[in-house]
Chain A
Amino acid sequence: DVKVTQSSRYLVKRTGEKVFLECVQDMDHENMFWYRQDPGLGLRLIYFSYDVKMKEKGDIPEGYSVSREKKERFSLILESASTNQTSMYLCASMPPSVADTQYFGPGTRLTVL
């Protein structure tokens, strides 16, 4: 079974803090993704990576950056957290084949005060 883990289930930070969200997958997948999920807006893609040190912007990258130094680990960074970044953050990984499935982690509920 594919396992995707995220560093925290719940996180509370203050406005202006730098926040790191980590995601680790154990299936040697090339592709990894970061989404945020908000009521009424669904899942929106922030960034994705298709290889180590490679990254591409998703639909809402503003205010975020990412790091992929190792294949199994994909980090999302909020350089200066703001209240409008309060959300559920979901990481996913996907093997490199024809229309394959993204497997999601348990999510991190981030609250920015």
Chain B
Amino acid sequence: EDQVTQSPEALRLQEGESSSLNCSYTVSGLRGLFWYRQDPGKGPEFLFTLYSAGEEKEKERLKATLTKKESFLHITAPKPEDSATYLCAVQAFGNTGKLIFGQGTTLQVKP
């Protein structure tokens, strides 16, 4: 069964304190892995798509990496405005675009 597990559930950082969020997955055939950011009461906002092991993508203070079993979202020198829930999802081949989501990691960055 295709599955996504994110850890930790919650993370508190001081402003400037770098860290990583983990997304472990099992999927029959990975078509793509997606990272989203979600602010309270809002819809998920797309961040990155990764397609194959070894791929990396960056956007401002965020960098996403992918291996055959997991993905990391690295946050470098975070700011309070980076506080949000970060969602990871996978899409398998032959699944007509369906996404399987993890539970998310809620990040709080304190000034």
> Using a CB–CB distance below 8 Å, which chain A residues touch chain B?
4, 31, 33, 40, 42-43, 45, 48, 50, 56, 58, 90, 94, 98-107, 109
Contact = CB atoms under 8 A, between A and B. Distances in A.
Interface stretch (B14-22, B61-69, B70-78, B99-107): B99-107
Interface on chain A toward B: helix, strand, loop, or mixed SS?
strand
- The 4 A-B residue pairs with the shortest CB-CB distance, nearest first, are A99-B32, A104-B43, A99-B31, A43-B101
Contacts of B42: 106-107
Contacts of A103: 46
B41 interface: yes
Contacts of B91: 99
A45 B31 contact: no
Given A40-B103, A104-B43, A107-B42, A99 B96 contact: no
A50 B98 contact: no
B51 to A, nearest CB: 6
B91 to A, nearest CB: 6
Contacts of B51: 99
Contacts of A102: 34, 46, 97, 99
B34 A101 contact: yes
Contacts of A98: 31
Contacts of B97: 31, 33, 48, 50, 94, 100, 102
A58 B102 CA distance: 16
A107 B31 contact: no
A42 B90 CA distance: 14
Nearest to A31: B97
Nearest to B93: A99
27 contacts: A4-B43, A31-B96, A31-B97, A33-B97, A33-B99, A40-B103, A42-B87, A43-B87, A43-B101, A45-B98, A45-B99, A48-B96, A56-B96, A90-B44, A99-B31, A100-B49, A100-B97, A101-B34, A101-B46, A101-B49, A102-B34, A102-B97, A102-B99, A104-B36, A104-B43, A104-B44, A105-B43
